[in-house]
Amino acid sequence: MPEGPEIRRVATRIHKVLAGREAQKVVFTQPGVAGFGPKLSGQQVEWVSSRGKALLTRFNGGLTIYSHNQLYGRWYITRRDKPPRTNRTLRLGIYTETHSALLYSASDIEVHTPESLPEQKYLARLGPDALDDRVVWQDVLQRLQDKRFSGRSLAALYLDQGFVAGIGNYLRSEILFNSRVNPFDRPKDLARRQLGALARNTLSLTRQAYATAGVTNTPGRVKRLQAKGLSRRRYRHLVFDRPEEPCYRCDDTVKRIEVSGRRIYLCTTCQPSLRAALAKELS
C-alpha cells in the first residue's frame, strides 16, 4: 500500500494538471457515487492534496472527492482521451480540456460537503499529518508522551494512523532505526533524548521520502552506492528490505522479523531492547 509520501507526490502531480481548470467531465463507475458525475462536470478544480494516505480533490462548488487507494488502487495522469494500457477497472475519471486524472481499481471513493468531510470515518481518526508543514517535532513528542500512546509498542504505534498519519511499513523501520530504538520498546521506556530523536526522525524521514520519491538513505551514501552501480532497490533504504546485509552503522547483520503479518527490519546492535535488558536484570 502506498504510504503518505507516495500519495502526496501523486496529489502534487494531479494538482498541477487539474487545479484552476474546468473538469469538463467527471465519471464515477461505482453506483454509490455515480450520480455526482454530472454535478461535478463543468466545475473548476480548486486543489488536490492528501491527508494521511487519502487523496482529496476539491471543486469550486464546495464538494470534495475523497479517495483511498487501499492495496490495489492506482492513479494515472495522461493527455486527454489517451487512456493508459492497463487491465485495471476504472473507478474515477476527471477530464479537463488537455489532461485526464484516472483512478483505477480503488474501491474507497466518496463525495463530501465541507460539513461531512471532517466526519469521514478515515479522516476523522487521523493524527497529525507528518507531511503537514504546520506540524513540528514537539507535536510528535507530545503524542509520544500521551498516555493514549506511551504504553504501546513502537512496532504497533507507528502503523496507527491515529498516532501520526502517513506512516507505513517502510517508514516505520527507517524511523525506528535512525532513532536507535527497538520496535518492541514503548515510548514510556525511552529517555527524553530518545523520544526527541524519535519525534524528529518521524517528520524528517517522512518529508525526505516525499522529496526523494521514497529514498530514506542518506544523500551521501546514496551517491556512493550509485557510483558503484547499485540499483535503486539496493541504495534506497537504511534497513528496510535489506535482510542479512551489513548495517551501515556497525556492520552487524540487518534482521527481518514479522509482527502481525507485517515485516520490520532492524539492527539489534544499534537498536537494543530496553525492555529485554530490564527483564534480564530482574530474572
Quote the CA–CA distance of 146 and 235 in Å, as a whole number. 36
**H or E element that contains 129:** none
Quote the CA–CA distance of 53 and 172 in Å, as a whole number. 15
3-class state of residue 200 by DSSP = helix
Which band of pLDDT confidence, cut at 50, 70 and 90, is reported for residue 81?
A: confident
- Taking residues 43-71, report their average pLDDT: 96
Dihedral of alpha carbons 151, 154, 158, 159, sign: negative
Distances (CA, A) of 121 to 47, 105, 110: 22, 21, 11
In a domain, 162, yes or no: yes
Quote the CA–CA distance of 210 and 144 in Å, as a whole number. 23
pLDDT at 1: 72
- Taking residues 221-238, report their average pLDDT: 97
The alpha-helical segments, DSSP class H, found in 19-61 are 36-40
Considering the domain architecture, whether residues 196 and 257 belong to the same structural domain is answered as yes
pLDDT tens digits, one per residue of 121-140: 999 999 999 999 999 999 99
Which band of pLDDT confidence, cut at 50, 70 and 90, is reported for residue 279?
A: low
pLDDT tens digits, one per residue of 17-32: 999 999 999 999 999 9
Considering the domain architecture, whether residues 59 and 154 belong to the same structural domain is answered as no
In a domain, 131, yes or no: no
pLDDT tens digits, one per residue of 166-205: 999 999 999 999 999 999 999 999 999 999 999 999 999 9
Residues of the chain with pLDDT > 90, as a percent, come to 93
List the grid coordinates of 210. Answer: 516525499
What residues have CB less than 8 Å from 25, skipping those under 6 apart?
A: 37, 41, 93, 94, 95
Considering the domain architecture, whether residues 113 and 163 belong to the same structural domain is answered as no
E strands, the chain, are 25-28, 45-51, 54-59, 64-68, 74-79, 90-95, 99-104, 108-112, 255-259, 262-266
Mean pLDDT of the chain: 95
In a domain, 270, yes or no: yes
In a domain, 189, yes or no: yes
Quote the CA–CA distance of 265 and 245 in Å, as a whole number. 11
Supply the pTM of this predicted model.
0.93
Considering the domain architecture, whether residues 110 and 164 belong to the same structural domain is answered as no
Considering the domain architecture, whether residues 102 and 164 belong to the same structural domain is answered as no
Quote the CA–CA distance of 189 and 3 in Å, as a whole number. 27
Asked which of 124, 158, 182 is the last residue of a domain, the reply is 124
Considering the domain architecture, whether residues 108 and 158 belong to the same structural domain is answered as no
What residues have CB less than 8 Å from 15, skipping those under 6 apart?
A: 47, 48, 49
In a domain, 112, yes or no: yes
Asked which of 94, 124, 154 is the last residue of a domain, the reply is 124
Considering the domain architecture, whether residues 115 and 143 belong to the same structural domain is answered as no
Considering the domain architecture, whether residues 72 and 147 belong to the same structural domain is answered as no
Please give the radius of gyration of the chain, using alpha carbons only, rounded to the nearest integer.
21
Asked which of 93, 124, 155 is the last residue of a domain, the reply is 124
pLDDT at 71: 85
Domain count, the chain: 2
Catalytic annotation, residues: 2-3, 53, 262
Quote the CA–CA distance of 99 and 128 in Å, as a whole number. 32
Question: Structural domain of residue 92, as residue ranges?
Answer: 4-124
List the grid coordinates of 237. Answer: 533504504
Q: Of the given ranges (64-68, 77-81, 137-141, 158-162), which has the lowest mean pLDDT?
A: 77-81
Residue position matching grid coordinates 547499485: 230
- Taking residues 102-112, report their average pLDDT: 96
Considering the domain architecture, whether residues 113 and 53 belong to the same structural domain is answered as yes
In a domain, 155, yes or no: yes
Q: Of the given ranges (63-77, 117-131, 185-199, 263-277), which has the lowest mean pLDDT?
A: 263-277
CATH assignment at residue 161: 1.10.8.50
List the grid coordinates of 166. Answer: 502517513
- Taking residues 269-283, report their average pLDDT: 71
In a domain, 132, yes or no: no
Considering the domain architecture, whether residues 118 and 151 belong to the same structural domain is answered as no
3-class state of residue 151 by DSSP = coil
Considering the domain architecture, whether residues 142 and 252 belong to the same structural domain is answered as yes
Is the model's pLDDT at 278 over the cut of 90? Answer: no
- Taking residues 238-262, report their average pLDDT: 95
CATH assignment at residue 15: 3.20.190.10
